[in-house]
Structure 1
Amino acid sequence: MDLLALADFVLVARHGGFGRAARAATRPKATLSRRVAELEAGLGLRLVERGARALKLTEEGRALYERAGHLLTELDETAAAIASGGQRPRGKLRISAPLLFSQTAMGKIAAGFALKYPEVRLEVSTDDRAVDMIEEGFDLVIRVNPDPDETLVGRAFLHDRLVVAASPGLARPTANTTAPAVVRSASDRLTWQVMTATGPTPIMIDPVLALTSLLMVRDAVRAGVGAGRLPLSLVSHDLADGTLVEWGEVDGPDIVLWTLYPSKRLLSARVSAFLNYLKEAFPMGTPDELAAYISK
């Protein structure tokens, strides 16, 4: 059955004639008449009796109008609700987020979002790899310094930077000495470049401990095992209260967290709501904001 022809039939029946329906819909009367005739031909039924002055529904036409009118109204309302996301976001929202952000902030973010939008079923997966959003069925991914991708769009919502931090009791190395260091990999370079008041300065290190998690690196640095390169948001409170001291900011690009999604066009209400929630949580997107959020 041609749904467009059925919709035209309902329009004509509702207004009681081709002329009134044409004026209400600002469409040609002849077009409506032709579409209703095509519907009748397709069904093999006469739906309307065409009089000189008025239109009368046949018994079959009246039965079809009563049933189809409700169905088409429901379809229109369903389409409008899907297009707008309804009054409140609802449905499943799948997100992939990097490990460190997941460990420090994502649990609190997910819980707050779930309380604000109880009709959304949020699923968060922790991945440091570049997932395939389409193939793996993710609605949104959070990534650190992502490579350009023509198939995805997104926005940066947090900025951080690496600093070299150490226990106050650990002596900073001189030009001819090395400092014990906690590294992410045993193959890390043996010289760290940091920015100081006098410019770029090398720090020679002796990797005494290799840990794959930045949270483990921070805990080891707090224990005084060695210096470590850590995001400022992870150690800002330690630096403020003197538990750790900063040897300098690592010379290199900032750490930028992005939200990525397939298209700006017809973005779902669920994704839009989550993006707005992140913006509310981190309005300025600074390391201090992230540190404050983690410590709440």
Structure 2
Amino acid sequence: MDLLALADFTLVARHGGFGRAARESGRPKATLSRRVADLESGLNLRLFERGPRVLKLTEEGRALYEKTSVLLAQLDESTTAIASGGGAPRGRLRVSAPLLFSQAAMGKLAARFALQHREVRLEVTTEDRPVDMVEEGYDLVIRVNPDPDERLVGRIFMRDRIVVVASPELGRPSGATPVPAVLRGGAGADAAAPATTWDLTDAKGKPKRLAVQPVLHLSSLFMVRDAVRAQVGAACLPLSLVLNDLAASTLVQWGEVPSPEIALWALYPSRRLLSPRVSAFLDLLKEAFPQGTPQELAAYIA
């Protein structure tokens, strides 16, 4: 099999078209088209469905891309390491991270990484949606309690939990009278299924049911925290986000939500050799959060 033709096929598949691949790589579009056609002829397979304005991988093309992109990346990293005389981090590192963690810590982490590894071009994308690492070209993703994926491996670097907090001026709840609540998300879902109670455990570990009346819906947990500080109502928030307020007594804790533990994972492709860039970023996470506690993340937020 022609390795150059395979590399050109991977390039076109990654960028989703001959024109974009040609612009990104500086290669002639006609050359890329010819090499992919030669590869299809040699394999006796159609790798792309070609339309007037759309180029789409066939099922066979997608299977080939998922396998060859990993192998070619390994080959590229190996030859780069040999040529440079070692495994020093260099090149581009693409990371996807969730919104809350990015707002809380990623700016400082990215700055530290850039200062420590000046030959790495770090690109961080903030999004909460699931991403396809191979298809979208990410080297590492950070996610909260991700679904199992046999193509990925990873490690937990941070654990957190949810607590119910309010301003001291709001007064602790008593009886069955609903307390005002600030929720994350839009009001549409809550209109269909209104949240009228929260189940929590108090300081002694005893279960408690709290009646709530939603009064405000916000899309960011930082916004929710600010509204709670302003005495609008109570809210369920990650402990790391409110630890500094609890220590300063600007917020008080009413209890803890007995939900599954919040675990932040750093994930990367399991079939890919761990590159020096990814290893360096994982080392930075371990250095920043050696115990993986909410207190360590709270220090970044402060």
Inter-CA distance 257–83: structure 2 relative to 1 (3 Å threshold)? farther
What is the 5 A alignment of 1:67-146? 79=79, 81-82=81-82, 86-146=86-146
C-alpha contact 1:141 1:260 (8 A) present in aligned 2: yes
C-alpha contact 1:193 1:203 (8 A) present in aligned 2: yes
Q: Of the candidates 285, 290, 293, which is equivalent to residue 292 of structure 2? A: 285
Q: Provide TM-score, normalisation by structure 1.
A: 0.71
Runs of 5+ consecutive residues of structure 2 not aligned to the other structure:
1-77
Q: Of the candidates 266, 272, 275, which is equivalent to residue 268 of structure 1? A: 275
Counterpart position of 1:249:
256
Counterpart secondary structure, 2:168: coil
Q: Distance in 2 between matches of 1:225 and 1:85?
A: 60
2:168 matched to 1:168? yes
Deviations 1:124-153 (A, max 9, x none): 001100011010000000000101111111
What is the 5 A alignment of 1:210-221? 210-221=217-228
Counterpart secondary structure, 1:169: helix
Structure showing greater Rg: 1
Q: Distance in 2 between matches of 1:246 and 1:224?
A: 14
Inter-CA distance 82–162: structure 2 relative to 1 (3 Å threshold)? farther
Inter-CA distance 272–177: structure 2 relative to 1 (3 Å threshold)? same
Aligned letter for 1:246?
Q
Q: Distance in 2 between matches of 1:246 and 1:266?
A: 45
Deviations 1:190-236 (A, max 9, x none): 21111111511111101010001000000000000000111111110
Q: Distance in 1 between matches of 2:84 and 2:252?
A: 51
Aligned length: 220
1:241 offset after TM fit, Å? Answer: 1.1
1:243 offset after TM fit, Å? Answer: 0.3
Runs of 4+ displaced beyond 6 Å? none
Q: Percent identical across equivalent pairs?
A: 67
C-alpha contact 2:151 2:271 (8 A) present in aligned 1: no
Aligned letter for 2:276?
A
Counterpart position of 1:193:
199
Q: Provide TM-score, normalisation by structure 2.
A: 0.69
Q: Distance in 1 between matches of 2:205 and 2:292?
A: 28
Q: Distance in 1 between matches of 2:111 and 2:82?
A: 25
1:156 offset after TM fit, Å? Answer: 0.3
1:103 offset after TM fit, Å? Answer: 0.9
Q: CA RMSD in A?
A: 2.1
Inter-CA distance 132–85: structure 2 relative to 1 (3 Å threshold)? farther
1:84 offset after TM fit, Å? Answer: 9.1
